[in-house]
Chains A and B, each alone.
Chain A
């Protein structure tokens, strides 16, 4: 006889239970796959986007502050110091007719660039032709994918926008490659002649960089020797590495959160499998008395788990891919918002995500089924029908559980506190241990608390309610697992909620504190919140003539390359800056900060200070064309605009050491009593007649827009929280269903001895409601601890942001409500079923 047939029969007999299990695994696996898939895709997109930038170059020459004088390139080239080299002028333009899609405009000299990039094909005779195409202004070459997806063909024109200025490109060529990697790196790319690129991007006389291919170290040393002050020779992949490092923290965060969702799912599987074994003790006893070996019983349970695992995991992977397709857009958007503009969006499906999902889902399911499978082998024909034996065992193992819980908490504490475990993964491992420890403690506490609770409940709510509590206590072997599983599910959801809400609240306060001007002006930039696009002086001076404006301050954003990577520098003219920032630490009193800044003190945002490992009072050195300048750090302030961070420097001081930078944003204050929206409308009307379009917003709109970016960043996290909630609801429903199903007979007897329908309702609903309630109660401290770790450790390590922890009872009520309502709802179906049952049928076996 084949025992696996029993397994299949058991699964199909308990179809609802099986389906719930499959759905539970499916959702858990789907979340992991979706996040992994979209993370992997985002990484490929990022790599491809940077690869088209790097080409075959080994190094790049860049200038400390952006523009490299083109004459430097000509001098180096004409003196024979540069061999294979290609000057690049590039930027991100948007295409209004494609919903303002970001497109990377790569300005090259094809005659120099063909040795650098694989995009020109093998036949070099295309080059003179290419140059004749490029000789005409505004002629552009599009990737085939880009052209096809927008139904464009050669000869058509394409209107584009850059920093509020409009241009019309003519599509003079289509570029394609047989190499799939090259082809994808071309996606989202418009190639133009370097001359047209300079004209569109306003970079006359300047290069963004020179790509070079160095053959040996000698060439490198020789080149370094002739590079003037303020220019650097850096490895080409440096930027890629930097971007990857920053993005990976964000991605690990998401992966770990998705794994937490899977953990929730696993708890539920463990719960269900354990229950199904407990439920079948008698049956297993019969199998044993028929002569089946323990080994066979073990395999039977594992086989069951495997069937569920395969069905759940495979459908989870499919769902994960579907979800991932949606998620990737969100993740890329966040990466664009926070780190780097990616132009590749359609990437293939990373097979590794599928395999990871399959292995993880199946192994995890089978692994959590091992304890119940072992449990099943312990059943002997003799003790099969005696539950008390099982309950007895549960009590004695409580001590062991307590010890294990304490041990896990100690390990978690070490992982969080000891500096060598500073990687994000350790922090998540610690979170996992803490969650497990709390779930173990839940079982222990229930054991001790339930009898007392029973007394109280009986006293206040009557016999039936007291019976319900005692019933929970009596059947602790099953209910403890169910309640602690639910607790885990709820606490993780709660922890994530508190983290997100704290974060949002912090950002909200920060925005209000920071954005104190009435009206803000900047150059439109859809793809990044770190624009350094310059407002044309004639445009701003015309706007500033408006009589309603009482005062204004300017901000110039520039990027300076340093040995520690690129640093964003905000040059400000705002003498009240010290009152518009919240400081992490200062070494100078607020009222003296501006004076100090006039003399070379600077303010660092928290993420930058963290990245450079500097604090208030330290010295930061920046290169200028006259040599290095020492800047003392007056204060470190909270900032959530980016996780790369920036520094604030006074305009007068900056301009005495560096070339004056163009204004990138203006903050206006209007005279008292003047209606701000009216002024905004006037300015917008004026701007419509000007050569450069600006974004003109009052501070409320700007705050709202900034929060919009924030919400976008957390949309994935939100989605994860939502799925975790769904999984926990499924868990609650299936756990309650199982327990009630198991006690069908008991309810039959109760009915037989005269329990009325409404009393049965009360009994069952109290029981299930209590399960939800206890899960919710124990979830509060767990969720609280999880959120503390997420806020103070994981977010700080991922983004460099200190979030103000915000604990609100609303979230707790919300969590409790979800747990409670779900368990109540779960009780309804079995009651309906039991009420329909003929008593005689139920107790026939007795």
Chain B
């Protein structure tokens, strides 16, 4: 064979092999462009009702949902003790968020909805220094999640439920992997309207407000289960129900909220809204509930919250971790301490919600008690979330 022929054969072979690889290479994988889902940009809905004037509260109607408002929550927190005095804190919260305020028309599927529900369930085991947490989410359709008033008030998300079983009695149930709760709540004080007859202003703009009422002392008995170990418990719970459409003003990043149940049968609710620049919003306020359920409104100027300690998360966010709360007008001076530093909830949004113990003076008398504190906007701004 001549050199030429041989060259030709070799060239042919090379060509064929290259051709083959060209064919193999036809699908170049791993161009890491967009991963996940790109969605049609959604315009913020502007047609929701605003909390811009006083609400004519009627119960049990207003225990239910108000879909004309964008956001609503039913918040249950409490401190419970077994017969040996072992303390558990719990939180069971249902959030409703409307996608749009329009009623569903021309939809035949029962799955059609414009409501999303989230529920957060946590138990703080003080002795074991554990904070168990679980979040679930569902559309508000088919009874998978939602609020009913017939025959009685009930809010649920899957099998997590709170339902009214008597005039002042509620049953609370939630179960997650490794921890669960089942409580009977008895309302001791009735409905307490916060703010101006239930209208709770959050910002200077009209409508930057919510309707807000509480049940500040719910006598609680039931069972807490952690890792298949059941504990018979008693204690007190607190209920908050709030609804509105534009809760935070444009410069506000989060809030610190306190619910304290004093051993003299008084309760204190305070919240302060924090601005971008670190200052406290003038619309911060509170409610002092007397043992006879009468209330005193506290304005921003009526109280002072001083941070004594801070706690840092493992990824570097700092939360306040001890406070001195005082009021010259109502004459109290309390030191509030979390029962456990790490009671941060890492859910769709991140916030700290935990059981606290306090002690100090009220009207010159020594008081002590337990409560719950919520701290938002420290690890993630609440702007646009609520």
Bound-complex Cα distance A11 to B1 (A):
8
Do B111 and A195 touch across chains, with their CB atoms under 8 A apart?
A: yes
A109 contacts which of B37, B40, B111 (Cβ < 8 Å)? B111
Give chain A nearest CB distance to B121 CB in angstroms.
Answer: 13
Q: Output the nearest chain A residue to B173 by Cβ-Cβ distance.
A: A80
Do B144 and A74 touch across chains, with their CB atoms under 8 A apart?
A: yes
Do A195 and B158 touch across chains, with their CB atoms under 8 A apart?
A: no
Q: Which of B227-257 contact A (CB under 8 A)?
A: none
Do B109 and A198 touch across chains, with their CB atoms under 8 A apart?
A: yes
Bound-complex Cα distance A173 to B2 (A):
63
A176 contacts which of B19, B26, B36, B348 (Cβ < 8 Å)? B36
Q: Which of A176-216 contact B (CB under 8 A)?
A: 176-178, 180, 193-196, 198-199, 204-205
Number of interface residues of B (CB under 8 A): 52
CB 8 Å contact bits of A119-150 with B (1 = contact, 0 = none): 11111111111111101010101001000000
Q: Output the nearest chain B residue to A176 by Cβ-Cβ distance.
A: B34
From B8-16, B77-85, B185-193, B273-281, the one touching the partner chain is B8-16
Q: Which of B1-35 contact A (CB under 8 A)?
A: 1-2, 5-6, 9, 12-13, 16-17, 19-20, 23-24, 26-27, 29-30, 32-35
Do B99 and A132 touch across chains, with their CB atoms under 8 A apart?
A: yes
B38 contacts which of A80, A173, A180 (Cβ < 8 Å)? A173
Known: A128-B116, A131-B99. A78 touches B143 (CB 8 A): yes
From A277-285, A315-323, A401-409, A756-764, the one touching the partner chain is A315-323
Do B9 and A311 touch across chains, with their CB atoms under 8 A apart?
A: yes
The interface residues of chain A lying within 8 Å CB-to-CB of B143 are 74, 78
B37 contacts which of A173, A198, A318 (Cβ < 8 Å)? A173
Do A180 and B29 touch across chains, with their CB atoms under 8 A apart?
A: yes
Do A12 and B34 touch across chains, with their CB atoms under 8 A apart?
A: no
The interface residues of chain A lying within 8 Å CB-to-CB of B17 are 314
Known: A193-B111, A196-B109, A311-B13. A173 touches B32 (CB 8 A): no
Do A131 and B20 touch across chains, with their CB atoms under 8 A apart?
A: no
The interface residues of chain A lying within 8 Å CB-to-CB of B16 are 311, 314-315, 318
Asked whether any CB of chain A lies closer than 8 Å to the CB of B308, the reply is no
Asked whether any CB of chain B lies closer than 8 Å to the CB of A155, the reply is yes
Most chain A CB neighbours (cut-off 10 Å) among B109, B113, B175, B348: B109
Asked whether any CB of chain A lies closer than 8 Å to the CB of B159, the reply is yes
Do B23 and A318 touch across chains, with their CB atoms under 8 A apart?
A: yes
Known: A174-B34, A349-B23. A204 touches B108 (CB 8 A): yes
Asked whether any CB of chain B lies closer than 8 Å to the CB of A348, the reply is yes
Do A199 and B37 touch across chains, with their CB atoms under 8 A apart?
A: no
Bound-complex Cα distance A141 to B33 (A):
17
The interface residues of chain A lying within 8 Å CB-to-CB of B381 are none
Bound-complex Cα distance A646 to B17 (A):
49
Do A80 and B175 touch across chains, with their CB atoms under 8 A apart?
A: yes
Give chain B nearest CB distance to A71 CB in angstroms.
Answer: 8
Asked whether any CB of chain A lies closer than 8 Å to the CB of B300, the reply is no
Bound-complex Cα distance A133 to B43 (A):
11
Bound-complex Cα distance A129 to B112 (A):
15
The interface residues of chain A lying within 8 Å CB-to-CB of B6 are 8
A195 contacts which of B9, B24, B109, B156 (Cβ < 8 Å)? B109
Asked whether any CB of chain A lies closer than 8 Å to the CB of B163, the reply is no
Q: Which of A377-409 contact B (CB under 8 A)?
A: none
Asked whether any CB of chain B lies closer than 8 Å to the CB of A791, the reply is no
From B50-58, B134-142, B194-202, B291-299, the one touching the partner chain is B134-142
Bound-complex Cα distance A194 to B32 (A):
30
Do A137 and B107 touch across chains, with their CB atoms under 8 A apart?
A: yes
Do A175 and B37 touch across chains, with their CB atoms under 8 A apart?
A: yes
Asked whether any CB of chain B lies closer than 8 Å to the CB of A23, the reply is no
Asked whether any CB of chain B lies closer than 8 Å to the CB of A671, the reply is no
Q: Output the nearest chain B residue to A13 by Cβ-Cβ distance.
A: B1
Do B23 and A135 touch across chains, with their CB atoms under 8 A apart?
A: no
Q: Which of B161-210 contact A (CB under 8 A)?
A: 175
B107 contacts which of A128, A199, A321 (Cβ < 8 Å)? A199
Do A78 and B112 touch across chains, with their CB atoms under 8 A apart?
A: no
Bound-complex Cα distance A266 to B144 (A):
67
Do A128 and B20 touch across chains, with their CB atoms under 8 A apart?
A: no
Asked whether any CB of chain A lies closer than 8 Å to the CB of B97, the reply is yes
The interface residues of chain A lying within 8 Å CB-to-CB of B13 are 310-311, 314
Q: Output the nearest chain A residue to B142 by Cβ-Cβ distance.
A: A74
Asked whether any CB of chain B lies closer than 8 Å to the CB of A354, the reply is yes
Bound-complex Cα distance A271 to B27 (A):
40
Q: Output the nearest chain B residue to A205 by Cβ-Cβ distance.
A: B110
Do A178 and B30 touch across chains, with their CB atoms under 8 A apart?
A: yes
Asked whether any CB of chain A lies closer than 8 Å to the CB of B100, the reply is yes
Asked whether any CB of chain B lies closer than 8 Å to the CB of A154, the reply is yes
Do B348 and A128 touch across chains, with their CB atoms under 8 A apart?
A: yes
The interface residues of chain A lying within 8 Å CB-to-CB of B282 are none
Bound-complex Cα distance A454 to B29 (A):
66
Give chain B nearest CB distance to A455 CB in angstroms.
Answer: 47
Q: Output the nearest chain B residue to A183 by Cβ-Cβ distance.
A: B29
The interface residues of chain B lying within 8 Å CB-to-CB of A11 are 1
The interface residues of chain B lying within 8 Å CB-to-CB of A127 are 137, 348
Do B1 and A9 touch across chains, with their CB atoms under 8 A apart?
A: yes
CB 8 Å contact bits of A536-547 with B (1 = contact, 0 = none): 000000000000
Q: Which of A479-502 contact B (CB under 8 A)?
A: none
Asked whether any CB of chain A lies closer than 8 Å to the CB of B127, the reply is no
Do A195 and B113 touch across chains, with their CB atoms under 8 A apart?
A: yes
Known: A109-B111, A111-B137, A180-B29. A172 touches B39 (CB 8 A): yes
Bound-complex Cα distance A641 to B169 (A):
65
Bound-complex Cα distance A128 to B159 (A):
21
A172 contacts which of B23, B24, B40, B116 (Cβ < 8 Å)? B40
Asked whether any CB of chain A lies closer than 8 Å to the CB of B42, the reply is yes
The interface residues of chain B lying within 8 Å CB-to-CB of A445 are none
Asked whether any CB of chain B lies closer than 8 Å to the CB of A375, the reply is no
Asked whether any CB of chain A lies closer than 8 Å to the CB of B368, the reply is no
CB 8 Å contact bits of B93-127 with A (1 = contact, 0 = none): 00001011000001111111110100000000000
Bound-complex Cα distance A131 to B33 (A):
24
Most chain A CB neighbours (cut-off 10 Å) among B17, B40, B42, B106: B40
Give chain A nearest CB distance to B287 CB in angstroms.
Answer: 31
Question: 6 closest Cβ contacts across the A-B interface?
Answer: A121-B36, A80-B159, A195-B111, A195-B109, A195-B112, A198-B109
19 A-B pairs within 8 Å (CB atoms) are namely A12-B1, A70-B110, A77-B144, A80-B158, A109-B139, A124-B348, A132-B42, A171-B40, A176-B33, A176-B38, A177-B35, A178-B35, A180-B29, A180-B30, A198-B109, A198-B111, A199-B108, A311-B9, A311-B16
Q: Which A residues lie at the B interface, using CB under 8 A? A: 5, 8-9, 11-12, 70-71, 74, 77-80, 109, 111-112, 119-133, 135, 137, 139, 141, 144, 154-155, 171-178, 180, 193-196, 198-199, 204-205, 307, 310-311, 314-315, 317-318, 321-322, 346, 348-349, 351, 354
Q: Which B residues lie at the A interface, using CB under 8 A? A: 1-2, 5-6, 9, 12-13, 16-17, 19-20, 23-24, 26-27, 29-30, 32-40, 42, 97, 99-100, 106-114, 116, 137-139, 141-144, 156, 158-159, 175, 348
Given A109-B111, A135-B113, A176-B34, 10 further pairs, Cβ under 8 A? A78-B143, A78-B156, A128-B137, A131-B139, A132-B99, A133-B42, A139-B40, A154-B40, A171-B40, A178-B32
